[in-house]
Amino acid sequence: MNLRRWLAPGIGIKRWLVVVFTGLLLLALAFAHFLRQVTRDLEPGGLAGMLVDLLTLQFLPFALRGLIAGSVGVGLVILGAYRAIRALMDPLQKGGADQPLVELIYQKRFLARGPRIVAIGGGTGLSTLLRGLKEHTSNLTAIVTVADDGGSSGVLRSGLGIPPVGDIRNCIAALADTEPLMSEVLQYRFPEGAGGDAQGLAGHALGNLLIAAMTAVEGGDFEDGVRAMNRILAVRGRVLPVSSTPLTLHARLTDGSIVDGQSQIMRTSGIERVWLSPDDVAASDEALTAIADAELIVLGPGSLYTSLLPSLLIGAIRDAVLAADAPRVFVCNVATQLGETSGFDLAGHVEALIAHTGPKLIDTVLANNSFVARTPPDWPAEPVRLRWPPDLKPIPRLVLDDVVDPNDAHHHDPTRLAVALLRTLEREPRLRRRSVGRTA
């Protein structure tokens, strides 16, 4: 055990050790005062006096007595602290903890000081973002769309009447402390060819079934079920559904035809407009509070029409983002999506987002400017071209950075994306003023 690590800045233990030491010092002074009062009237040369002289080392020079007493005291304090910490650590280490307790405490305290960040979206892009940000802050809130209607989520939605859980599962898995092991467990899908009693589980992800079960345990309250999953898996931050009402996404194409359902829209090109039903859905109160308290609001990355816009099309969420004091950063995808955003460049993404929300929704656009990453051969997408500025007023500030996964040109790199966002955050002067005031 590295005792010096416990005394490192950020652990928060040194101040309390000083308090304990001060208390012990006062107790020692009180005992010395008591001893002096009791022994004042003892007869010199008597048995009691000789015994007191022996215990207080009166037969040694004054300086040597102080040195011996101080050395023994320091040794006992170190031994006691070592054994006390060891007594706390041993059960955790024997229980299979993969990190020393001191590292866990340091990590928790460091992350608790991180900025309050709200991320809005869904799909793979949002979980990628969360996987990077969770290494910098635990004050993290993911507000996730509930418009999915395909796959396991669609089956549970139609069978149980609960909102789709697939994107929520992905975000919980990304924020779990035991990720990637927990991610593998939550993402496990029962094989399609399962027979017998397991036939009803075919195609379902285990995480989806767990969220559905927690919703039932919580009396059918979907938000309480998701909240319980956050607690059980001890995620860094929290994952919130944008609403407890299942949403249906609709799209009008440039030829005038209408497409219903997220799973159909994501494979459709030529999208002109998207909207939700029901149109008077109530937003999550926790989500609205998180947006109001945020120090940074991140929109995306993720599928523009089917992951990001469904949350922002809820009036209360859009209005909360517009009214927030925090900087609002739109993270553009690094690659187009076949069908949904085929042929879209950077300005096209921003123009479509603003057309569905409001001209002042975003302050900053973060886009990738590296095009040397490996391109997967089995996915006919292309990098998002950097056409700028968009045809709108006011024009958001543009920030370019290398945020692509070097091994996959169609996805962001979690670490690079998180660092780029935090750099953007540091450049916001009004945020620095708010943070300094809150700290003071």
Asked if pLDDT for residue 194 goes beyond 60, the answer is no
Assess whether 196 and 71 both reside in one domain: no
41-54: pLDDT as tens digits: 666 666 666 776 77
How many domains are contained in the chain? Answer: 2
Residues 6+ apart with CB under 8 A from 137: 111, 114, 115, 116, 117, 237
Answer yes or no: is pLDDT of 351 > 90: yes
What DSSP letter does each residue of 335-384 carry, written as one string?
B--TTTTTT--HHHHHHHHHHHS-TTS-SEEEEE----SPPPTT----BP
Q: Judge whether residue 333 has pLDDT over 80.
A: yes
For residue range 155-187, what is the model confidence (pLDDT) as tens digits? 888 888 899 999 999 999 999 876 567 778 888
- Would you say 176 and 182 are in contact if contact means Cβ atoms under 8 Å apart? yes
**pLDDT of amino acid 432:** 41
118 has a pLDDT exceeding 90 = yes
The answer on 199 and 116 residing in a single domain is yes
| Domain final residue, candidates 77, 104, 131 | 104
Q: Which has the minimum average pLDDT: 28-32, 129-133, 264-268, 357-361? A: 28-32
Judge if 385 and 401 occupy the same domain. yes
Same domain as 269, residue 174? yes
Q: What is the pLDDT of residue 323?
A: 95
357-405 pLDDT, tens digit each: 999 999 999 999 999 999 887 777 899 999 999 999 999 999 999 999 9
Q: What angle do CA 279, 284, 285 make, to 5 degrees?
A: 125
Please state the pTM of the whole predicted model: 0.79
254 and 122 in a common domain: yes
Quote the pLDDT of residue 184: 83
Give residue 31's domain range: 3-104
Residues 350 and 270 in one domain: yes
Q: Domain check: are 119 and 18 in the same one?
A: no
**Is 113 found in the same domain as 99?**
no
Does residue 135 share a domain with residue 44? no
State phi, psi for 347 to the nearest 5 degrees. -65, -35
Q: Are residues 40 and 186 in the same domain?
A: no
- The per-residue pLDDT for 43 is 61
**433 falls in which pLDDT band (50, 70, 90)?**
very low
Q: Could you tell me what percent of the chain has a pLDDT over 70? A: 83
**Predicted local confidence at residue 134, as pLDDT:** 93
Report the CATH number that the domain containing residue 405 is assigned in CATH.
3.40.50.10680
Alpha-carbon span 315 to 323, nearest angstrom = 12
Same domain for 39 and 130, yes or no, is no
CA atoms of 47 and 383, how far apart (whole Å): 94
**Final residue in a domain of this structure, among 104, 124, 156:** 104
Among 78, 104, 130, residue at a domain's last position? 104
Residues 258 and 326 in one domain: yes
Determine the pLDDT at residue 198.
56
